[in-house]
Structure 1
Amino acid sequence: MEDPAAIVQLIKEGITDEDLPLCRNDDDDNDSEYNVLASVGGNKRFPSSMAWGQGEKVETFLKKQWVVQSPILDKPGWHFVLDPECPLPLTECETEHAKGGMGVVHKAKLHPAHHCLFKGDDETYIAIKEIHRKEDFIREKTNLDIIQRLQNRHLISLLASCERGSAYYLLFPWANGGTLRDFWEEQDANPRTRNLIRWALGQILGLVDGLRALHNRNIRHGDIKPQNILVFEEPKGDHAVTLVLADMGVSKFHKEATDLRKSATITAESTVSYEAPEADEDQRNNKPRPRRYDMWPAGCMFLEFTVWLVYNCAAVEGFYKQRKAQNDPVSQGNFFSRELDQSTEIHPAVTEAIRHLREHPLCKDGTALGDLVTLINDRLLQIKPGDRAEAPELYDRVKTIVDAAAAKPEYLGQEVKQPLPTPGFFSPPGSRKGSSS
């Protein structure tokens, strides 16, 4: 404003930090006082602002005051309602990092003096999901509030939420290891040791435990896939990495079963490759999807995880190409196939992949990975939803595998010192070439 005298007058009128932000006087019956500044709510007025000319300085003050009005996010899990002009207390914010189904995610740093949301240093990043549709925000926030009460380390934690004008923000810890798909790429060259397999089985158990916790609260995730599994790396320890189930944007909160049938679930678009066989018919008939729907994509993801553990990322890609019909441009690489008579079967490529896995020393009969593949085949990748395991059964079955692996190291299979050749099945034309680790 370049007017020190005006500042002196405001101080004489008793202005304090608690009065900010100021706004124009909202007395509609007195136009002459339009340029009188007042605290929000109008309970304190500052008449000296009338002497600032024709309103230009008032307008400048109203805009510039926000430079010093960044909020303090002092209550973890709280929802903060901010003025549309109020800036978030960020010291760094990258441009758009990734698009989710219903929002944009930014990588940012909070000013350490402006939050009490977590313990960390000035270099700790957070993820900010920005949503512009109120109904999408409310739906996701409702699910996240329930999830926070579960306190499960394999479910994403919400640091806080904000609304500012027409924009809504969800603040999460930043996954410094990216997604599970990123992890596979970065760790691809590492040997497949017993420690790695033991860690992977423990993380699968953790993810199933998180899914069980969701289902116990009548929440279906609805979009399980490697891209929605976040990787949090700890600074110390062998395989000190935790996998976390995230992106509840397409999760659905289901009421009691009696209410569930009254109206169909509105289903957001999920990755088609992992969709269950009943997805299209349910959508056409406006039919709600039960929690057992999650068991199919979980089986797809765990099978891909096993392919990566036994072989490599190139094999995961080759497996996808084998599922994607070469003569069908609309094929999405599903784990099932439609026959000419419209019947549905497990995709032949899935059956073939399982056959190859069972021939590998790490995955033969009587090994932990071999038993995991049997579980995936028998209780998850089932065409009829009623034939799939529910989350409690899946948890118990995986825990049995994990406990046996802890008791008998040989159950983890024979360590492969030199990579075995990857079967040609996993290297169809157009795939990356790679050898097993």
Structure 2
Amino acid sequence: MCPLPFIGYNDTQDGESSAHARKACIHRNHIKDFQLNEDFTVAVKEIDVRDVSDKTYRAAIGALELARWVEEDHLVKFIVGFKTPERHYLIFQWADGGNLFQIWKSSQRCSNQLIHWAIEQMESIARGLEKLHNFDPSGIFYHGDLKPENVFVSTRPGHLGDLQIADMGSARAYLTRMGLGEAETMPFAGTIRYRPPEMKNSHADGNPRGHDIWSMGCMILEFIIWILYGPDGLEIFNGSFDNAARPFFGVDRGHGPLQHNVSNWIRHLRETCFGDDCASRALRDLLDFVHTKILVEDDGIENNKQLANTRRQNSLSPPRLLSTPTTTRKNLRLRQRRADISDLNEAFEQILSNKEADYFYCEGPAIKDSWELVLKSRILHGRMEKRTTGPEVPTHSSSPSTILPILAQRKQ
């Protein structure tokens, strides 16, 4: 057994996951055809063999090796994988700014600049996801476990950072080949919280790309709450679930596919921050698209038509996403079709191209007034409704735009 070419290895583990990531420095002579940081740092992900079977690991490696050739800056590149009797190892390019979940723990002043950055970064993630979805014309390629912890941040001076999709293959990236009509794929798993409603029984057929779109919609909603209310608002939203692992979808048809608390939060945002004195028409338009086009049930019929169409296309062309005509869907009594990744990117393009004054941010009392309602509302707190203290709303005469959402000081 030869030693690995590491000249530096961080023994500190990320305790939030059974698959631990470590920072390492690899000797430059052992890296070819990859653009790494100047100090040749990489991320080494360790997975206990008891958590992932050899078959699953091999399938993940195959998916990662294929995804490696997707030309997209907003996808973290896979370098190589190897294993020992006790652990599987995956080596990726290093992102030095942590992940999106960690970004959401920080407070940023709600501003035109912050909203622009957030929407541009969400659009970049969607563009990366589109390239991933459309990369392999011989089948379906999708992520399978989109969540804030799997969106990494690469920092640059004077900027909050660039977001990159990561973890494409750590037992949760899937490749379906259709050459003989046989699916070579692992059962869909994904993190429970970001699973779509068609995954109620932990496994479902249908449109696997639609799973990614639902997860993306959940993250966009959380992103919007963080922009408006900061980490304290996002904490209250997360606390409104009766279980930390509870997914966004529910079983009460009166609220559509969403949990009561999620529907309540969307309604609150529409009636306050995005009401008559709208704080951000850009975020309002994005929330409307997510609520009506993404966080909906998906009948999965597009998948079959899409695959049939894919076989007919030239192997050099990306798969073309098809939708069923509205009249046909009505006749077949189908549920509403979830937007695909190209629909989402068109929505982002339309929002980002809007040059109207105050479209992205309009300074005013809407966010402050809305936040005060959040603190008073038992409905929005959910299982945290017995909480006796919360983020303290400043009472000095500063403009709301300079004090919100930085409201993180708690009462002592």
Query: Is this a same-fold pair by TM over 0.5?
Result: yes
The alpha carbon displacement at 1:156 in A equals 1.3
Q: How far did 1:192 drift?
A: 1.1
Q: Structure 2 vs 1, CA of residues 408 and 344 (structure 1 numbering), >3 Å: closer, same or farther?
A: closer
> Is 2:116 the counterpart of 1:198?
yes
What displacement does 1:336 show?
Answer: 2.0
Where 2:257 maps in the other structure, the secondary structure is strand
Aligned Cα RMSD in Å? 3.2
Distance 1:229 1:332 in 2: 19
* Unaligned segments of structure 2, at least 5 residues: 301-336, 394-403, 406-412
- Could you say if the C-alpha distance between residues 312 and 258 of structure 1 is closer, same or farther in structure 2, counting changes exceeding 3 Å? farther
Residues 229 and 416 (structure 1 numbering): CA distance in 2 closer, same or farther, change over 3 Å?
farther
- SS where residue 368 of structure 2 aligns? coil
Residue in 2 aligned with 1:338?
A: 251
Structure 1 match to 2:153: 231
Most deviating of 107-116 and 173-182: 107-116
> In the aligned structure 2, how far is the partner of 1:257 from the partner of 1:211?
23
| Residue 377 (structure 2) pairs with residue 420 (structure 1) | no
Which whole-Å deviations, capped at 9, do the CAs of 1:198-218 have from their partners, x for residues lacking one?
011011111111111122132
How far residue 281 of structure 1 moved from its aligned partner, in angstroms, is: 3.4
The corresponding residue for 1:159 is 79
Q: Within 5 Å, give how 1:228-377 maps onto structure 2.
A: 228-234=150-156, 236-239=157-160, 241-248=161-168, 249=170, 250-256=172-178, 259=181, 262=182, 265-267=185-187, 269-281=189-201, 283=203, 287=205, 290-324=208-242, 332-339=245-252, 345-361=257-273, 364=278, 367-377=281-291
1:110 to 1:290, Cα distance in 2 relative to 1, 3 A: closer
- State the 1:266 CA deviation: 3.0
- The 1-side partners of 2:246 and 2:17 are apart by 20
Residue 433 (str. 1) matches residue 390 (str. 2): yes
The partner residue of 1:105 within 21, 27, 50 is: 21
Deviation at 1:102, TM superposition (A): 7.6
1:74 matched residue in structure 2: none
Change in 2 beyond 3 A, CA 1:372/1:344: closer
Could you list the per-position Cα deviations for residues 115-156 of structure 1 after superposition, in whole angstroms to 9, with x for gaps in the alignment?
45545444x532012354543332222222222222111111
Match of 1:394 in 2: 344
Larger radius of gyration: 1
Alpha-carbon distance change, 416 to 144 in structure 1, aligned in 2, over 3 angstroms: farther
Change (3 A) 1:166 1:355: closer
Taking a change above 3 Å as real, the CA distance of residues 358 and 143 of structure 1, as seen in their structure-2 partners, is same
Residues paired across the two proteins, number: 336
Aligned residues with identical type, % of pairs: 26
Q: Bigger CA drift: 350-359 or 309-318?
A: 350-359
1:94 aligns with 2:7: no
Paired letter, 2:111: T
Mapped to 2, the partners of 1:199 and 1:314 lie a distance apart of: 20
Structure 1 residues 28-87: Cα deviation after superposition (integer angstroms, max 9, x where no partner): xxxxxxxxxxxxxxxxxxxxxxxxxxxxxxxxxxxxxxxxxxxxxxxxxxxxxxxx2x22
CA shift in 2, pair 1:343/1:184, >3 Å: closer
For CA contacts below 8 A with separation 6 or more, give which structure has more relative contact order. Answer: 2
2: CA distance between counterparts of 1:258 and 1:197?
47
Q: Distance in 2 between matches of 1:343 and 1:414?
A: 30
Gaps of 5+ in 1: 1-83, 325-329
Match of 1:139 in 2: 59
The one-letter amino acid of 2:390's match is K
Task: Give the match's secondary structure for 1:433.
Answer: coil
Q: Output the CA distance in 2 between the equivalents of 1:257 and 1:391.
A: 24
Any idea what SS the aligned residue of 2:296 has? coil
Rate the CA distance shift 1:255–1:378 in 2: closer, same or farther, 3 A: same
Q: Normalising by the residue count of structure 1, what TM-score does the alignment of the two structures yield?
A: 0.68
SS at structure 2 position matched to 1:139: helix
Quickly say closer, same or farther: Cα 1:119–1:127, change in 2 above 3 A.
closer
Say whether the 8 Å CA contact 1:368–1:411 is kept in structure 2: yes
Match of 2:132 among 195, 206, 214: 214
Whole-angstrom CA distance in 1 between matches of 2:348 and 2:180 = 31
Alpha-carbon distance in structure 2 between the residues aligned to 1:409 and 1:291: 36
Question: Normalization by structure 2: what TM-score?
Answer: 0.72
1:411 aligned counterpart, secondary structure = coil
Q: Which moved more, 1:262-271 or 1:223-232?
A: 262-271
Give the AA of the match of 2:221: L
The Cα of 1:258 is off from its aligned counterpart by: 7.3
Q: Is contact 1:90-1:111 (8 Å) kept?
A: yes
